[in-house]
Amino acid sequence: MLVLKCRLSDEVNRLPDFRLSLTAEERSRSRHRFTADNGEAVYLNLPRGTHLRGGDLLHEGNLDALVQIVAKPEPILTVMGTTPLDLLRAAYHLGNRHVPLEITPTYLRLAEDQVLAAMLQQLGLQVMNETAPFEPEVGAYQSHSHDA
């Protein structure tokens, strides 16, 4: 089994050997066994609190095998408003509920939840069920540091 314990800190002039597709929740696990897209068993043994993002590159420590993380499409809600203030208001209400949230200038994304969808619609926002990669914000007290 391949044990991935390092995240690259710099660009590498090499293609990954294979990919590991993970949901947003799975990308927050620092110690867990997964099956890579090619069927190979891998074990994440990363520093506690590590949050992976799509595109991150992991290795065992010697760069023999390079694995690229892919943000796996999953059921999500995409929220759009008429004005930026609409999205800001929605983000405020979702933040009060500690909901993991992907924030962009034109839409918000969150895990599928019909109760929250109804609340957002009551606020006048357009809510669409989709299957797409989900990259929620990392908490303000978390870092996205890279290991060498």
- Whose CA is closest to 20, among 76, 62, 58? 58
Give CA angle at 125 (124, 131), nearest 5°: 150
Among residues 49, 71, 93, which one ends one of the domains?
71
Same domain, 79 and 114: yes
Residue 138 lies in a domain: no
pLDDT of residue 123: 96
Residues 125-144 pLDDT 10s: 999 999 999 999 987 655 54
pLDDT of residue 120: 98
pLDDT category of residue 1 using cuts at 50, 70 and 90:
very high
- The helix/strand/coil state of 60 is coil
Give the tokens for residue 118.
């109804």
pLDDT of residue 141: 56
pLDDT of residue 148: 41
Residues 22-69 pLDDT 10s: 999 999 999 999 999 999 999 999 999 899 999 999 999 888 899 999
Same domain, 55 and 85: no
Same domain, 51 and 23: yes
Same domain, 46 and 92: no
- Whose CA is closest to 16, among 47, 50, 56? 56
Number of domains in the chain: 2
Same domain, 93 and 52: no
User: Can you give the CATH number for the domain in which 120 is found?
Assistant: 3.30.70.790
pLDDT of residue 12: 79
Boundaries of domain holding 92: 74-132
pLDDT of residue 140: 61
- The helix/strand/coil state of 144 is coil
Residues 56-102 pLDDT 10s: 999 998 888 999 999 999 999 999 999 999 999 999 999 999 999 99
Buried b / exposed e over 18-31, threshold 16 CB at 10 Å, is bebbbbbebbbeee
